[in-house]
Amino acid sequence: MCRQKNSPKGYYESMTDPNLPIRIISKIVRGYGRGSKDLGIPTANVSREGLSCSCGDFDHLPTGIYWGFARIIIIDGSESSNGRGDGSANDDSYSCNESELGQVFTAAISIGYNPTYNNSEKTVEPHLIAPAMHPKRHASLTGETQFQDFYDKTIILSVVGYLRPELPFEGLEKLTAAIKKDIINSERLAGDESNPATIAEREWVRSSLGNDALGNKKLLG
């Protein structure tokens, strides 16, 4: 079975981890540049440096594929602004209007070593899912939101539920197919309004201020 070979560090941590949800505040940084180019599934790369986490620190983040909620703050404390202060739309690859910038997205989240690529460093990468009817919604059901414009911005992320372990796939097609399934499962699970964690975590992501000075107390509160 392909899981056995190439087993990355921390592979088994996630399978028994009962410590969800995990709340994270950090910045978006440049990744390996594969998400958009190779896979057609862009991810926000969450900075290890300066990361605040309800689980303690970066090393305590359990590996695996998860679903949750995410929001990007363009300017701390005033995310309704477009960053230019003139109310005009951003005309780069993902043109956001003001309400989208502070919007809570459902996210399919990868935490770990991307065993298909054998990364030596653990990464945290949410794919923010554009909702149905969104202009960036991919026709194939893979929601899609671009991140090129969001480097250095603050990301508020709650890792709510576990989907599966990260796996070494033989070929990009299989990896992409698995991620598409994760995205569908994430949307299904995030849409379950009878789950108290869904309500609480979406609200935390919506309302969190994301100041750099935030400590774990605020992450938990």
Structure tokens at 9: 């560090």
Q: Which helix (H) or strand (E) holds 23?
A: strand 22-29
Report how far residue 38's alpha carbon sits from residue 45's, in angstroms, rounded to the nearest whole number.
Answer: 15
Minimum separation from the CB atom of position 44 to ligand RBF (A) = 9
**Amino acid (one-letter) located at 60:** H
Q: What residues line the site for ligand RBF (CB under 6 A)?
A: 31-32, 34-35, 39, 43, 65, 108, 110, 114-117, 125, 127, 166-167, 169, 175, 178-179, 182
Taking the C-alpha atoms of residue 199 and residue 190, their distance in angstroms, rounded to an integer, is 9
Residue 182 interacts with which of Mg ion, ligand RBF, none, CB < 5 to 8 Å by class: ligand RBF
Cβ distance to ligand RBF smaller for residue 104 or 167: 167
- Phi then psi dihedrals of residue 22, to 5 deg: -115, 130
Closest CB to ligand RBF among 65 and 130? 65
- Smallest distance from Mg ion to CB 34, Å: 7
Given a contact cutoff of 8 angstroms between Cβ atoms, the answer to whether 108 and 67 are in contact is: yes
Closest distance of CB 89 from ligand RBF, Å:
27
- Annotated catalytic residue: which of 79, 100, 125, 201? 125
Q: Let me know if 125 is a catalytic residue.
A: yes
- Torsion region of 94: left, alpha or beta (phi above 0 gives left; psi -120 to 50 gives alpha): beta
Instruction: Give catalytic residue positions.
Output: 125
